[in-house]
Amino acid sequence: MKSLQRFFTLTVLGCLIFPGFIFGQNSFRISPYIQVADQNLVQIRWFAGQNYPSTILFKDSKGNILKSTDVSGKEMAELYYTNAEKSESIPGLEGQNWLGGEKYFRYEYSLRVPSGESIFYEVTLNGQRFSKTFKSAPDSKGWENIRFIALSDSETEPIGRVTHRAWYPGIPLFRPFATPALWKQKFGTTIEEGIEIPNYFLTEKEGYTANLEVINSRNPDFMLMPGDLVQGGAYMPAWDEFWQHNAGQFGAGLASYPIIPALGNWESYGGLNSGYGYNEKGQFNPVLGRSRFHTFFEIGIEDPLQKHRQSYYRTDYGPITILTLDSSNGTPEQKRSDTPPEQRLKNKEYSGPGTDTQENYTQAEYNAAGGTDLSGFGPGTNQYVWLEANLKKAKEAKKLIFVQFHHVPYASGEHGVPMNHELSTGQGGTPLRVLHPLFEEYGVIAVLAGHDELFERSFVDEDGDGKGVHYYDVGVAGDGLRGVKRNWLSNPLETLDYNQFSKWTADQKSTEQWNTSGTNPVLTDGGKHYGHLEVNLKKVKDGNKTFAQIDFEPIYIFPVMDQNYNLQRIERRIYNDQLRILVELAEETTEPKFKTQITVELNQDGKAITTLKDYLENPPLEDWKVEFSRSPEYSCSDLAGSENQIKITDAGGNTWTAVVLVSVKDLMPPKLVTKIPSLTADRIQGEFLLKPEDFIESLSDNCGIKALELSKTKVSCENFDLSFEVVLTAVDASGNKSSAVLTLNVSSFESKKISISPETGTQFLEGQKAEIRLGEEFGFSVLAWYRNGQVIEGQKGKAILTEVAGTYWASLIPEGGGCPVESKKTEIKFAGVPFGEIKESVTLILGPDGKADLKPENVFVKWPLSDPNLEITLDPKSFNCDNLGEKTVKILIKSQSGQTWEKTIKVLVKDQSPPLLVAKNINLELDVTKGVVELSPEMLLAEFGDNCSIKSLTINKNRFTCEDLGREFSVAVRAEDKSGNVTEAVAKVSIVRKEAEKVVISGPTSFCKGEKGVLELSSSLPFEVVRWRRNGAEIQGQTGKKLEVSESGIYHAVIRYPGGCLSESKDFEVKVNPLPEGEIKVDGNILRAPEGNFTYQWYRNGEKLEGKTTRTYTAELMGEYAVELTSSVACKTLLKSVTLTISGIFGTPVNQALDLKIYPNPASSRVLIEFPDGVLAAKPSILVYSSDGKNVTEMVQIFVLNDTDAEIRLNRITKGTYLIWAIGTDQKTYFGKLIVL
């Protein structure tokens, strides 16, 4: 029996939730997952729903950065949801969402990594970080242990979350109990061929999740998946579900180990998008589904022999080579219908493997739809050529060779027979047997496949040398749990046993063990379950030989249940078919792998010391002796580059020599210590120069200083007396830099000052002009003169004249590049004038006529003036709308003595009179066939105007559409004049409908229930239908101009004119007349139809009984009788038929009919009938009738065995249901129902 070696417990199945990995809550649509190709090439790939910025970082086990770079996303156009997928409703998932966003952006990065290292990587996407660690492939010779997993047929899809699959019986074929009610309630059952099969304990999602949980706990190096990853490659939600399990919400195992997948038949399927046909976008589902496989798994490698993208490809991992093939289509094409039924193979007959693995599409159809990645696999095909070449290379390289593809060639399951067998499914894997001679010739260890969803191992050794190939069906990831194929047409209880090479199946070799002592039977061990194949490779020594010890362990995921069928835990168990094989490894001399160039770094003493390992790609061996052509110690004198010839000799006398270029680098920056001195500058002299050496306290470098640099060497006047930063940098001969940021402040002073005359306090009379002159203490230019801190415009001479009192000085620039400075200051005073102070400015408001006058009293601060004899003249003094704004007015003041003064004043002319507006209310017609009407401001005004003219007239709503019909709007009218004065008024606008012609409905006004009529809309104007209504309620999904109706009611349609509004048709009433109702009453052989105003017509077995048109009918034959009723309005109904049996024909028996015991039932060749009461002693007639009432007694053989038992032989009757009838003494009637297979 099986051994329980380890167990794994899930506290809550399926609850491995990665926070955030839910559509809409995380930047990662698919979290990072790993792929590998040739040795040491690793690809990380991830997906997002938007084109976010992203980066990736790699580090080795010592924390050294291997790579850090930005990664750009690329939209994948072939990844999309169809409308059918968007609108899909899945029973059991109501209220749940299984779809993501509309777009997929792919990110990827490939890197060659060191062998046998623990590699850390971190991906940042839109600011969110994801980090994991994985183990890189070991060296092909220096490896010790490798573990990988193989499983297939996960066939993920959203409905798998609630789907329990049928659990076909294995051993025993008949379980020792009827399916308990609690089992049916929790897991359900499946009816197949009329037989009730209990469903499995776990849903597909739970089973696959538990399977992956156990796999992840084993820390595999990589995982093989030979096909059927998803339930439809052209059904996008299936891919979403797969990634939720492997790089998303349910689990993220592929972030820590690589996946190596193959194409399966389901990758070509489209699910609800027309299966193997064309989807709604016109794309051929097989081409689309396979292109999505490539989008997710294609890796950047070059292979000249690979003619079909990466439908088939090679992967090297340490000593292992995995050849992945595409078994999707064989050539020449074949179909089951190619072989006539009478010529098809039966039982274990075999005439060859056939050539094709499917009949859903052909190579020509695939190519015509734009596909370029599909190849046959037989001799002469591109894939066969590629396979043979890679098998040869792998064998020459002494690799451990494994092959994977989907369709298992040797199988005991449903797909295990060729296309010309009567039990063929049209998807058999036998055509792949054509590859076995290659596998055996080149030493393939095992072929890993799936498809039959039957855990099985076969061994094929055609040449009988004991070195055959092991074939595994590992299709138990999380979908079906099938049993071996049975001889369905001859004896469904008999296994077909078509695979003569089978060594073990979980179905037939793992006996179910049940504990039936409690309320409900509980499985304690055995049976077939979800699981996987674990393969462990270990290098072992036996004497002087080295072997690869390869252990194959078939793992099953056992659900431990309690009496109430509650899951307690999941246990990892091993089936009793563990296999160990030893493959001898060739002993080879380990050669040093010289680097062509190395880079060494000088230390703080200017030296770099190297050892042999620095010059090699692989680790040096202890028995190697090394000679260097020059010292392995390098110094500053080697910065220009050097070379070293290395000679290595091993213990066997083998010698290898190579010249390695040595790049010597000094990465040590100078050591810089700074200081900050006191800095002062003379503003008369101008800018201040900075010197690097003034700021150095100490400076040193391992290879010497090349340069000292300051980011700023000149301090200009504007930076005096302010803090600023400069950067001091020391640079050595290798360009290494050390920098320090210095915060400096240069204080300024003036060594000289320009004098000014006259001195402060000098008095001048009003009307006099005072001269102010600068001294000559140094050469300078005048920048500006100032009075009371305000610039005097236009004055840049060394002397000025003024009539205005105030404090004066000048801003100067010294000759020779000095800084701006100021002269000394002086205060100038003037005696008073006879007219007092004039205002700085005056504001003048225009009147309603648009005019205004300026008067003398408006311009003086005090009025009247102290001297009433002064003559005041203003120019100009009258203003109108053309003078709006600020104007300069000249004031001329003249005394009686003739002395004059001329002054100016600023006059601001304003208009503050708002416009005149008088609004009116209007009705505005909107033509529904056009859908829009425009409104102008003038339409809402009874009167408007302004004293200086209106600048603009606007309204807050000038356009009305269909949504506004029947509504009243308050529309604001706004008038603004040139001065910005605003007046607003409000008018009421009522939008009224204008429709010259209504859409009308035509069609039948009445018909019978069950019949249908067509209503049609018509109009002289173009329109489209929005919806139909019956009795005011919308009829869903109806938007055509014609409507098929079957119910009474008042119908009308909501329509829309192109570019216009919604409208409604006129009402149209339809009346549906009821059909006659009732049932046939049976009184012995008399049949009575319902009474009423009907005409009648009788039928037997669907055939019209001519002339039988009365309400009652007397039957004389067994059969199925029905009557057609026709009402007064010609509505007809065929009433539910009644079946008249023998007892009905011959009248009601004296006694109640007794049941016969018939077994086996169903039967195929003979049955035993047990009669009660010893009735057979009286030798009654035993009759057999078919389901259509025919007496078929003559077609069977009846043997009375004793007074209670009789045997009936059934060899001459066909499959179907039969009635066995006998009448004993005292008119006792005996009946039994028999099913013949």
pLDDT band at 874 (very low <50, low <70, confident <90, very high): confident
Q: Is residue 1231 a contact partner of residue 1154, using CB atoms and an 8 Å limit?
A: yes
Domains in the chain, please, with CATH? 144-524 (3.60.21.10), 597-665 (no CATH), 671-749 (2.60.40), 756-830 (2.60.40.10), 841-910 (2.60.40), 916-994 (2.60.40.10), 1000-1073 (2.60.40.10), 1081-1143 (2.60.40.10), 1149-1236 (2.60.40.10)
Torsion angle in degrees (nearest 10) through CA of 433, 439, 441, 442: 160
- Rounded CA separation 158/423 (Å): 31
Residues 6+ apart with CB under 8 A from 543: none
- Per-residue pLDDT at 1144 exceeds 60: no
pLDDT band at 1189 (very low <50, low <70, confident <90, very high): low
Query: Which bin fits 391, alpha (ψ -120 to 50), beta or left (φ > 0)?
Result: alpha
Q: What is the pLDDT of residue 117?
A: 93
Torsion angle in degrees (nearest 10) through CA of 374, 408, 292, 136: -110
Of residues 29 and 1066, more confidence is placed in 29
Q: Span 947-965, mean pLDDT?
A: 89
**Cis peptide bond N-terminal to 592, omega within 30:** no
Residues 6+ apart with CB under 8 A from 929: 995, 996, 1021, 1057, 1060, 1061
* Alpha helices, DSSP H, located in 795-906: none
- Rounded CA separation 917/941 (Å): 7
pLDDT digits (tens, 9 = 90+) for 407-446: 999 999 999 999 999 999 999 999 999 999 999 999 999 9
Cα–Cα distances in Å, from 410 out to 150, 379, 471, 510, 951? 17, 19, 7, 20, 94
In DSSP terms, 1034 is beta-bridged to 1029
Q: Is residue 1135 a contact partner of residue 1125, using CB atoms and an 8 Å limit?
A: yes
Q: What is the pLDDT of residue 1218?
A: 85
3-state percent breakdown (helix, strand, coil) of the chain, nearest 5: 10, 40, 45
pLDDT band at 868 (very low <50, low <70, confident <90, very high): confident
Q: Span 859-874, mean pLDDT?
A: 85
Nearest Cα neighbor of 225 from 150, 333, 294, 285 is 150
- Rounded CA separation 1002/1237 (Å): 57
Q: What is the pLDDT of residue 1217?
A: 81
- Token couple for 986: 């409000």
Query: Which bin fits 619, alpha (ψ -120 to 50), beta or left (φ > 0)?
Result: beta
Torsion angle in degrees (nearest 10) through CA of 842, 845, 846, 852: -40
Residues 6+ apart with CB under 8 A from 922: 939, 940, 987, 988, 989, 990
- Rounded CA separation 137/40 (Å): 6
C-beta neighbour count of 817 within 10 angstroms: 12
For the entire predicted model, the pTM comes to: 0.54
Q: Span 74-96, mean pLDDT?
A: 95
Q: What percent of the chain has pLDDT over 70?
A: 95
Q: Span 1102-1111, mean pLDDT?
A: 90
- Token couple for 1069: 């009433």
Q: What is the pLDDT of residue 1210?
A: 85
C-beta neighbour count of 687 within 10 angstroms: 16
Lowest-pLDDT choice from 321-330, 389-398, 1040-1049:
1040-1049
Angle between helices 236-247 and 285-297 (to 10 degrees): 20
| Kind of pairing between the strands at 642-649 and 625-628 | antiparallel
DSSP state of 709: E
Torsion angle in degrees (nearest 10) through CA of 50, 52, 58, 64: -160
Cα–Cα distances in Å, from 294 out to 288, 311, 373? 10, 8, 10
- In terms of Cβ atoms closer than 10 Å to its own Cβ (0-12, 13-18, 19+), residue 592 is buried
pLDDT band at 827 (very low <50, low <70, confident <90, very high): confident
Residues 6+ apart with CB under 8 A from 569: 7, 8, 9, 10, 11, 560
- Rounded CA separation 80/87 (Å): 14
Of residues 1155 and 912, more confidence is placed in 912
Lowest-pLDDT choice from 460-464, 614-618, 901-905:
901-905
3-state SS record for 946-1006: CCCCEEEEEECCCEEEHHHCCCEEEEEEEEEECCCCEEEEEEEEEEEEECCCCCEEECCCE
- Rounded CA separation 118/975 (Å): 78
Concatenated DSSP letters of 736-773: -EEEEEEEEEEEEE-S----EESPTT-EE-TT--EEEE
- Rounded CA separation 453/473 (Å): 7
Q: Span 634-648, mean pLDDT?
A: 92
**Residue 410 CA to chain centroid, in angstroms?**
37
pLDDT digits (tens, 9 = 90+) for 995-1033: 888 899 999 988 898 888 999 999 888 989 999 999 989
- Rounded CA separation 790/496 (Å): 113
Phi then psi dihedrals of residue 938, to 5 deg:
-60, -25
Q: What is the pLDDT of residue 165?
A: 95
Q: What is the pLDDT of residue 9?
A: 36
pLDDT digits (tens, 9 = 90+) for 558-608: 999 999 999 999 999 999 999 999 999 976 677 899 999 999 999 999 899
If you average pLDDT over every residue of the chain, what do you get? 89
- In terms of Cβ atoms closer than 10 Å to its own Cβ (0-12, 13-18, 19+), residue 1150 is exposed
